[in-house]
Amino acid sequence: MTLGSAPDLLPLVIDSVPAPVAYYASPQFRCAFANRKYAEAFGDSEASIVGRTLDEAIGAESVERVQSILDRVVNERAAASFERQMTAVDGSVSWIEGGITPHLGPDGSVVGCIVLLSDVTRFHLAERALRESEDRLAKFMQASSEGIVFHKDGIVTDANPPLLTLVGYSIDELRGRSILDFIAPDELGKVATVMAAGREITYESAILHKDGSRIDVELSVRTMIRGGQALRMAIVRDIRDRQAAERRIRHLAHHDELTNLRNRLSFNEELDRLMDTARSGGAQLALLLIDLDYFKRVNESLGHQIGDTLLRNVASRVTATLRATDLVARFGGDEFMVLLPDVAGRSEIEQVAAKLLLAIEAPVDADGRTISVTASIGIAVFPHDGISADELVKHADTAMYLAKARGRASFQFFDPAAADAAYAALVTESELAEALAHDEFVLRFQPQVRARDGTLAGAEALIRWNHPQRGLLTPDEFIPVAEKQRLMLPIGHWVLREAARCVRRWNHDTGNGAAAVPVAVNLSTVQFRAADFVESIERVLIDENVPGPWIEVELTERMVMDDLTEVRSILARLRKLGIRVSIDDFGTGWSSLSQLKDLPIDKLKIDRSFVQDLPGNRGSRAIARAIVTMAKSLDLTVIAEGVETSEQRRFLAEIGCDLLQGDAIGAALSAEQLAAQIARRP
């Protein structure tokens, strides 16, 4: 095989060029040669395109676009280039870059032109994408609510309006300056390190306002291309509001929102720490638990807004009374806790407790109302009264309840014996709740007879607790606990309903409705003061189908003397239901018949403390006669309780007492036993 001549090889070489190439001969600029890529670009073949004029080969419209370039090549006899869009035969659009090089004859005239085309579509697309990216970035910078700043090698090149507003500078004042000029001095090292590393990172720092004030910010730093060069972009977020919110959350996590004192969690943490310090140094701590007396009444009568004002005042007064080293917290509700570190002895603690009581009980102006409360304070001393925080708090709480039991408005130190009693009361309280759930209570009924002939006139319902381990318990063994723990209300409801059921059975089942035997029920203070007291009795009468006259309620003197106007209204409503009212333990309180005369009551019960000395004691005889005489003048029935001897029975009958009750009259009976006795009546 022999190599062909150079002219023979030229078409082969040019066809191998990956770009469209053609030669147009002047003066008509007819195509003298075109490689395959050029011919195909215009929908021709290499053979068919040869001989065509430029207009015929590429179209008049295309020629028009490059005519000025072609004229320049011919006139100036120099190569020229152009760019234009080109639509291929298949309809696809591309960008081409064309080069036209003149072919000069011996005389220097243009005898033809060489045309070389290059597809530069990808470069145009990249450039367009870059422009669009730049446009988007510019719009983002303007629209973003966060500050954005660009810098190159640490020198500011651009910033958006939010950044300018944040720092107080104009764009002209920022451009050309070092980015570090605007960093807080204590943050310079950190920021410079990030800049030197070129890392893409988000971190917190601080910048300076034009006025010199510090602005805590979060910086999100990235490297990006802008305007054809690599820049560092920082998104600057003002985090002062977020930090303030976080500080607020941290504060609320450890403080009471109402009083701004420490809360229980924070106090317990500090208590543990101070106990460790005291333990290692052999020091004493005093824990004082303050509970406001009858604070619930303030909320119920004056509203929670007044109650909150009072709590804030108490918190302020307690804090003002103590040393800066003392610890104060609100434990919740109306309870405050005080820790006195490094106390010398009991007398020092007593002085502080006395000052606290005086400070708390001083009158408070709450929204135009002058109110005051007292407090009960329980005191436990470390390490004598407890070596753990829980134990110390528990013992201070026990001491506080002891202070309330001894009259309130006072302080009491923890007493182990009192703690035992408190624990016993706690156990009893728990068992009482179980007793209600398991129906362990029973009623006994003590007969009440007419003094003149001994006939049965009524009965008093007496509650007993059939304790699973301790047997049948009398009220003295559990009612005091029930009253303190507010279990008296559900127990009182049970007594009333059970008594109604029993009296219905007696008087319906025995057929003695015409001469009914009523049952008397003792009411507790909490039951009588309940908002729905009268409604609850009415519901029982309806539910159990019992007429009002079959039920009698017994109230103590103290219960009816608290608020005569309100009591009068309650008793009047009871009378409308047909229920009779008896004043129990008469003579032991501060009331007089002149105070009672306007109340709708039916019966007075002479207290057993006067009956037990009859008839031998002169004073008791005089009191008994006076009560009977005055009661008769007011048309009230008189009953004496605690009648234990025949002499007492005889004397009371002689002075005109209407009814008698006691062991000499009859022991307490079960419901069945009393029903049998009623059935035997003539």
pLDDT value for 1: 34
Do 263 and 299 belong to one domain? yes
1 domain-assigned: no
Task: Assign 3-class secondary structure to 541-585.
Answer: HHHHCCCHHHEEEEEEHHHHHCCHHHHHHHHHHHHHCCCEEEEEE
In the numeric block, which tokens belong to residue 584? 């129990």
pLDDT value for 355: 94
- Which residue pairs, CB below 8 angstroms and at least 24 apart, start in 395-399? 395/419, 396/287, 396/288, 396/289, 396/337, 397/289, 398/422, 399/289
Q: Kindly report, residue by residue over 670-681, the tens digit of the pLDDT.
A: 988 888 888 877
Sorting pLDDT into bands at 50, 70 and 90, what band is 230? confident
Return the CA Rg of the chain: 52
Stretch 398-411: mean pLDDT? 83
Domain boundary among 386, 414, 442: 414
pLDDT value for 4: 47
Domain boundary among 382, 414, 446: 414
Q: Kindly report, residue by residue over 47-94, the tens digit of the pLDDT.
A: 888 888 888 888 888 888 888 888 888 888 888 888 888 777 677 777
Do 494 and 572 belong to one domain? yes
Do 140 and 285 belong to one domain? no
Do 84 and 155 belong to one domain? no
* Exposure string over 78-100, b if 16+ CB within 10 A, otherwise e: eebeeeeebeeeeeeeebbbbbb
Q: Report the distance separating Cα 256 and Cα 253, nearest Å.
A: 8
194 domain-assigned: yes
419 domain-assigned: no
User: Looking at residue 439, which CATH number applies to its domain?
Assistant: 3.20.20.450
Decide if pLDDT at 593 tops 80. Answer: no
Do 225 and 282 belong to one domain? no
Do 376 and 444 belong to one domain? no
pLDDT value for 226: 63
Q: Kindly report, residue by residue over 519-540, the tens digit of the pLDDT.
A: 999 988 888 888 888 999 999 9
420 domain-assigned: no
User: Which bin fits 303, alpha (ψ -120 to 50), beta or left (φ > 0)?
Assistant: left
User: Looking at residue 79, which CATH number applies to its domain?
Assistant: 3.30.450.20
190 domain-assigned: yes
Do 289 and 203 belong to one domain? no
Stretch 465-476: mean pLDDT? 89
In the numeric block, which tokens belong to residue 630? 């005055």
Q: Which of 23-32, 147-156, 480-489 has the lowest mean pLDDT?
A: 480-489
DSSP-based three-state secondary structure for 404: helix
Contact 521, 537 (CB under 8 A): no
Do 547 and 595 belong to one domain? yes
Domain boundary among 243, 265, 291: 243
pLDDT value for 3: 42
Provide the domain count of the chain: 4
422 domain-assigned: no
Do 181 and 201 belong to one domain? yes
In the numeric block, which tokens belong to residue 444? 């006994």
Sorting pLDDT into bands at 50, 70 and 90, what band is 320? very high
Sorting pLDDT into bands at 50, 70 and 90, what band is 378? very high
Q: Kindly report, residue by residue over 272-297, the tens digit of the pLDDT.
A: 899 998 888 888 999 999 999 888 87
Q: Which of 468-477, 507-516, 665-674 has the lowest mean pLDDT?
A: 507-516
Per 3-state DSSP, what percentage of the chain is helix, strand, and coil (rounded to 5)? 45, 25, 25
Q: Which of 53-57, 150-154, 391-395, 669-673 has the lowest mean pLDDT?
A: 53-57
Do 372 and 459 belong to one domain? no
Q: Kindly report, residue by residue over 410-443, the tens digit of the pLDDT.
A: 999 998 877 677 667 767 878 888 888 888 999 9
- Whole-Å CA distances, 201 to 148, 207, 529: 15, 17, 68
- Whole-Å CA distances, 3 to 11, 263, 290, 416: 14, 102, 116, 124
Do 374 and 311 belong to one domain? yes
pLDDT value for 461: 94
pLDDT value for 610: 85
Domain, as residue range, for 497: 431-679
Do 289 and 435 belong to one domain? no
User: Looking at residue 364, which CATH number applies to its domain?
Assistant: 3.30.70.270
Decide if pLDDT at 500 tops 90. Answer: yes
424 domain-assigned: no
425 domain-assigned: no
On average, the pLDDT of the chain sits at 84
Q: Which of 475-484, 607-616, 642-651 has the lowest mean pLDDT?
A: 475-484
